[in-house]
Amino acid sequence: MTATAASAPSQQISSGFRWTQLIIGLICMAMMANYQYGWTFFVPPMAKAHSWQVASIQVAFSLFIAFETWLTPVEGFIVDWLGPRGPKIMVAIGGILAACGWLINSRADSLEMIYVGAILSGTGAGAVYATCVGNAVRWFPDRRGLAVGLTAAGFGAGAALTVIPIQKMIVSIGYADTFFWFALGQGVIVFVLAWLLRPPQAGEVPTASAVKVLQSKTSSNPGQVLRSPLFWILYLMFIAVSASGLMVTAQLSIIAKDYGVAQTIILFGLPTLTLAGVIDSLCNGGARPFFGWVSDQIGREYTMAIAFGLGAIAYWLLGTAGTTPWAFVICAAIVFFTWGEIFSLFPSTTTDIFGPKFATTNTALMYSAKGMSAFVVPLANVLKTHTGSWHAVFVVASIMNILVVAAALFIVRPMRLSMSAAEKQSPVAQPAE
């Protein structure tokens, strides 16, 4: 009785503190959002100023995504290895690198320098992303989908607050100075907040006894994860869904221009592209905690089936009915709402399967799939040029989503049920930490 009473105040303090950790992570992620979702607004003025081909500029976007994702397993390993100091050190370094990337972009007079900036900013953004997601899944074993969703929402919706300022600054002071001032502002905020982050200690988080979804009772190290067939199935699913979404997020302004709706004024004096940028960021960010919460209630695979099934419909609609201003805004919003949830569903599923002890590294390994998907983005331009329209691109995206729905229901779900049954029959189980 005494031990229980003594532990109660600690549980209350930890409960409040873990939400503080989540909010700090969310803000840091929001400061990284423009590096991906604000990029599309810089492409046209860069192409015009330097007479560069859009496809050549978009190589920088692919490099950003690649370095944002492929280095995260290394960054996650360093975080786990450093222990309590890991999150603060890695996020601080990430903020500095991301800022340096855009500072280079602000002065770049060649595509090669733009590529260097993309590599630095991608490395920094990935360090922040992997660390904050890894911290969230460890602090919230009981609400893992929601916690990761809220954290990832910062990265998805953070750009909504700056879509209009970025566009206005590009018009008024030029894209180069816009790169410069946003780099400084975002970098300083992330660097300061980084020193407040830390992982939970033993006894600081609630048990997962009331969890409604399948969760492993053991933790797997990265080597064991990489030897798991289930990990690679999820990895391929992530690539498929991520690629379909990136084809739209990276090309949004170009698609709107090709449809002839980009500058059409439709609401409160805002052109179609600007309004779509705001709404899409909100939908992208909102999808992450929403579907994360849903997955906590009904299971990860069923949620994947619902979200990605709706995504298949959304891509088809954007390709067939999205050619008028309001239709473009609505269809694009649905696309973003049914794509953003991958960044809550896959990390939470990975931690459910492989445990929390090496969560930062393991979720980073899964997140690296986004880097593989980035190289599909230029292929979308090739397909569009070959066919003469975006319709074929969106048909391919729809098919990819349908295949992932089938994999979630008929491959992943049965495999997880089999693993859970085998774990219950095992006489010895190492508790997840």
What's the confidence (pLDDT) of residue 353? 92
Digit-coded pLDDT (tens) for 404-425:
999 999 999 999 988 888 877 7
Greater confidence, 393 or 301? Answer: 301
- Domain range enclosing 156: 13-200+210-423
Question: Is residue 235, in this structure, part of any structural domain at all?
Answer: yes
Would 96 be classed as within a structural domain? yes
Asked whether residue 205 carries a pLDDT value surpassing 90, the answer given is: no
Percentage above 70 pLDDT, the chain: 93
Beta strands in 163-293 (DSSP E): 265-267, 270-271
DSSP 411: I
Token pair of 58 as six digits: 């978009």
Report yes or no on 105 lying in a domain: yes
Name 363's Cβ contacts closer than 8 Å, sequence gap at least 6. 76, 130, 133, 134, 137, 347, 350, 351
Q: Which residue has the tokens 């600690």?
A: 10
Count of domains observed in the chain: 1
Asked if residue 7 belongs to a domain, the reply is: no
Q: Which pairs from 326-334 meet CB under 8 Å and 24+ separation?
A: 326/266, 328/256, 328/259, 328/261, 328/272, 328/276, 329/266, 329/272, 329/275, 329/276, 329/279, 332/248, 332/252, 332/276, 332/279, 332/280, 333/276, 333/279, 333/280, 333/283, 334/283, 334/310
Confidence of residue 378 (pLDDT cuts 50, 70, 90): confident
CB contact at 8 A, 339 and 290: no
Give the pLDDT score at 15: 64
What does the pLDDT read at residue 408? 95
Q: How many residues does the chain have?
A: 433
pTM: 0.78
Q: How far apart are CA 248 and CA 33, in angstroms?
A: 16
* Structure confidence by residue, pLDDT tens digits, 210-227: 566 777 778 889 999 999
pLDDT value at 8 more than 50 = no
Q: Which of 92-106, 145-159, 186-200, 375-389 has the lowest mean pLDDT?
A: 375-389
CB-based contact 271:263 (threshold 8 Å): yes
161, two tokens:
């607050």
Q: Is residue 2 part of a domain?
A: no
Asked if the structure places residue 320 within a domain, the reply is yes
Tokens representing residue 176 in the block = 């180069």
Q: Compute CA distances 51 → 105, 170, 378, whole Å.
A: 16, 17, 18
Is 430 domain-assigned? Answer: no
At 97, list the tokens: 């690198």
Q: What is the pLDDT of residues 171-197, one digit of tens each?
A: 999 999 999 999 999 999 999 999 999
Distance CA 356, CA 340 (A): 23
Instruction: Please state the φ and ψ torsions of residue 266, each to the nearest 5 degrees.
Output: -130, -25
Q: How many CB atoms lie within 10 A of CB 9?
A: 9
CATH of residue 130's domain is: 1.20.1250.20
Q: Which tops the pLDDT comparison, 251 or 47?
A: 47
264-273 contacts, C-beta under 8 A, 24 or more apart: 264/325, 266/325, 266/326, 266/329, 270/164, 272/325, 272/328, 272/329
Rounded Cα distance between 425 and 419, Å, is 10
Residue 311 forms part of a structural domain: yes
- Predicted pLDDT of residue 404: 96
